């Protein structure tokens, strides 16, 4: 499960996913990738489990060998977008106090 899935979808829609990706098709792919990661590691994807490049590395180490490298690279792209969203939300909270936007 993806905690804040709606926010993640909204964030990708507003910020894009990558220069070679078509946003509309990539959104469902990225959500699917994160849900797959969640199932593989048997843990929710949240700001506590996925909040930095090092947390991506920890998760990748858990799934290494369970999926092809190409699939893992796709997972990493989706995880990086989630991390960017978390970082962006953290910056907004600092800028506007603890008011959630």
User: What does the domain layout of the chain look like in residue ranges?
Assistant: 5-95
DSSP conformation letters of 12-71:
HHHH-S-TTS-HHHHHHHHHHHHHHHHHHHTS-B-TTTSSSHHHHHHHHHHHBTTB-HHH
| Per-residue pLDDT tens over the stretch 17-34 | 655 555 556 889 999 999
In the chain, pLDDT over 70 holds for what percent of residues? Answer: 82
Q: What is the pLDDT of residue 74?
A: 94
| Per-residue pLDDT tens over the stretch 66-88 | 999 999 999 999 999 999 999 99
CB 1 within 8 A of CB 39: no
Q: What is the pLDDT of residue 26?
A: 82
Q: Is the pTM of this model over 0.75?
A: yes
Q: 35 to each of 20, 21, 61, how far by Cα in Å?
A: 22, 19, 17
What confidence category does residue 93 fall into, taking pLDDT thresholds of 50, 70 and 90? low
- Please name which of 28, 38, 27, 30 lies closest in space to residue 3, comparing C-alpha atoms: 38
């Amino acid at each position: 499960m993806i905690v804040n899935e709606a926010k993640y979808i909204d964030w990708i829609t507003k910020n894009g996913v990558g220069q070679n990706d078509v946003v509309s098709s990539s959104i469902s792919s990225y959500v699917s990738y994160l849900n797959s990661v969640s199932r593989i590691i048997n843990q929710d994807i949240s700001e506590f489990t996925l909040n930095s490049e090092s947390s991506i590395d920890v998760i990748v180490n858990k799934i290494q060998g369970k999926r092809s490298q190409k699939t893992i690279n796709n997972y990493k792209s989706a995880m990086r977008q989630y991390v960017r969203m978390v970082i962006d939300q953290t910056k907004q909270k600092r800028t506007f106090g603890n008011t959630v936007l």
